[in-house]
Amino acid sequence: MTQNKETGWNFDNSYARLPESFFKSVEPTPVHSKELVVLNKSLATFLGLDVNELRSEDGIEVFAGNRIPEGAHPIAQAYAGHQFGHFTMLGDGRAVLLGEHITPSGERLDIQLKGSGRTPFSRGGDGRSTLGPMLREYIISEAMHGLSIPTNRSLSVVATGESVLRETKLPGAILTRVSSSHLRIGTFQYVANWGNVEELRILADYAIKRHFPEIKDNEDRYLALFQEVIKGQAALIAKWQLVGFIHGVMNTDNMTISGETIDYGPCAFMDKYDPATVFSSIDVQGRYAYQNQPAIGQWNLARFAETLLPLLHEKEDHAVELAQEAHSEFEELYHSHWLAGMRRKLGILNEEEQDKSLIEDLLQIMKKHQADFTNTFRALTLDKPEDTVMAGAREFTHWYDQWHERLARQAESKTSAYQLMKNSNPAVIPRNHRVEEALEAAVEKGDYNVMAELMDVLSNPYAYSPEQEEYTKLPEPSNLPYRTFCGT
């Protein structure tokens, strides 16, 4: 383990010590011009890095892929995936994992450059990224962190000064991404399809050691691994649903073993409540619509189970039974997380059988009146039902009375209930129109102040501060649906 004494980089690259078939050693492609446009100072401090050194010429050279920090071992990881249901070989086509940084607290985190040039897995692509999507990932991933949703994080964005050809020429950029690992369901699919059982065992043991060390001595540790991943995904997707987050590309290569959100391509947050909401321009069938995310998560976990069968039991029939039994637990786990979260959003501190009906009735009324998801729960938190579009509607008035009767039946005070709601309902989310405003100012005008102000508001979404009021406003009505793009 080596350490860069000046900046604080402290690399120990355990994944690069796995079988060579799991990755390809590769150097980022240097850029001729570079400008550090965003640096996440709080994340840098958490990582134990010197902010001034990161802003220096040498520090920016690392973010641009022009210099490899001491102790790093750059690689592109191999993986496969079901993309919109179709299986294919993939791999890091425009990303390079510099290595694993050990924080002062001993946490092991991947440091990855996204948009740093071609790799052996680029499949004919240029390996580059454009400024808008990299800033978008920075904004959304950090907003998710503020919402206390497990996620990879963004350390920096560097403008490369190069043009990247998509439909038109666009400014290039490189994002530095930080995550607990980049192990995906698709990583296991790759090894299961193109490796052997021993390599699969090595990968599973590595995942256990890195993410679930408490099960490493279990006799049935591979079944326990599957169960732990199920738990993580059930909790994660419930958190998405509770804030109206729509991932957009829930392919198996975008679902992590660690239970972190990864790949912020065509993602967005729902405004008016509609379970069928889709934002991604390429999801023409609505496969990854808001209402489908739990079922897709369960489908992805079935694909993960298929890869583990040789490790679960030597007899395939028994292995399938074990996997099916564990897999069947997802639905109940997800629903338990979702129901508990919805109770918190409504200030309910105990359990009654009719709570589910109370919640579902509210959602149906919200759908009927096209009520904004976030602002509805914000209004209830502030006890201002008049601020919702449902105000005055007979069914909402009836529901509101039922809800207050429900709160009155619990031992805790209404003050406690409203505090619980305040801690559970964000006052602000990265509204789609606000994100677009920030991106337009940055990309078109070189003005990063709009983005900085947005990031400041999103850093503590549960603050309910006066500064956040402006960011709760809805966009102007439009006849055109909001659309997001992968940015690849």
pLDDT tens digit sequence for 198-249: 999 999 999 999 999 999 999 999 999 999 999 999 999 999 999 999 999 9
Contact 226, 308 (CB under 8 A): yes
Which whole number is the average pLDDT over 364-373? Answer: 98
pLDDT in the model for residue 480: 67
Cα 399 from Cα 318, distance rounded (Å): 49
Cα 195 from Cα 198, distance rounded (Å): 8
Phi-psi region of 117 (alpha: psi -120 to 50; beta: other; left: phi over 0): left
Which whole number is the average pLDDT over 431-439? Answer: 96
Cβ neighbours for 311, distance < 8 A, ≥ 6 positions apart: 197, 200, 201, 204, 222
pLDDT tens digit sequence for 245-284: 999 999 999 999 999 999 998 999 999 999 999 999 899 8
pLDDT in the model for residue 476: 87
Tell the burial category of 470 from Cβ atoms under 10 Å away from its Cβ (0-12, 13-18, 19+): exposed
Closest CA to 98 of 205, 5, 9: 9
Which whole number is the average pLDDT over 365-385? Answer: 98
Closest CA to 144 of 426, 449, 443: 426
| pLDDT class of 487 with cuts at 50, 70, 90 | low
pLDDT exceeding 90 applies to what percent of the chain?
Answer: 94
pLDDT tens digit sequence for 393-409: 999 999 999 999 999 99
Average pLDDT across the chain, whole number: 96
The tokens describing 417, both together, are: 């209930």
Tell the burial category of 385 from Cβ atoms under 10 Å away from its Cβ (0-12, 13-18, 19+): middle
Give the HSE-up count for residue 18: Cα atoms under 13 Å, Cβ half-sphere: 27
pLDDT in the model for residue 91: 96
Which whole number is the average pLDDT over 135-149? Answer: 98
Contact 165, 131 (CB under 8 A): no
The C-alpha angle with vertex 24 and arms to 20 and 29, in degrees rounded to 5, equals: 160
Amino acid at 430: P
Residue 2 has pLDDT above 80, yes or no: no
- Give bridge partners of residue 246 from the DSSP assignment: 268
Report how many helices (DSSP H) and strands (DSSP E) the chain contains, helices first. Answer: 16, 14
pLDDT exceeding 70 applies to what percent of the chain?
Answer: 98
pLDDT tens digit sequence for 299-333: 999 999 999 999 999 999 999 999 999 999 999 99
Phi-psi region of 8 (alpha: psi -120 to 50; beta: other; left: phi over 0): left
The tokens describing 247, both together, are: 């991932």
Q: What phi, psi does 377 have (nearest 5°)?
A: -70, -30
- Tokens 């050990």 -> residue: 102
Which whole number is the average pLDDT over 72-101? Answer: 96
pLDDT in the model for residue 159: 97
Q: How far is CA 290 from CA 89, 108, 312, 393, in A?
A: 27, 32, 33, 26
Which whole number is the average pLDDT over 43-53? Answer: 98
| pLDDT class of 1 with cuts at 50, 70, 90 | very low
Cα 433 from Cα 474, distance rounded (Å): 8
Cβ neighbours for 252, distance < 8 A, ≥ 6 positions apart: 80, 81, 82, 184, 185, 186, 189, 300, 303, 304
Q: Is 416 strand, coil or helix?
A: helix
Contact 108, 210 (CB under 8 A): yes
pLDDT in the model for residue 68: 97
pLDDT tens digit sequence for 6-40: 899 999 999 999 999 999 999 999 999 999 999 99
Contact 143, 239 (CB under 8 A): no
Residue 166 has pLDDT above 80, yes or no: yes
Which whole number is the average pLDDT over 81-97? Answer: 95
Which whole number is the average pLDDT over 341-370? Answer: 98
DSSP readout, 424-441?
Answer: HS-S----HHHHHHHHHH
pLDDT in the model for residue 193: 97
Catalytic positions: 253
| pLDDT class of 5 with cuts at 50, 70, 90 | low
Which whole number is the average pLDDT over 374-397? Answer: 97
Range in 169-173, 356-360, 474-478 the model is least confident about: 474-478
pLDDT in the model for residue 124: 87
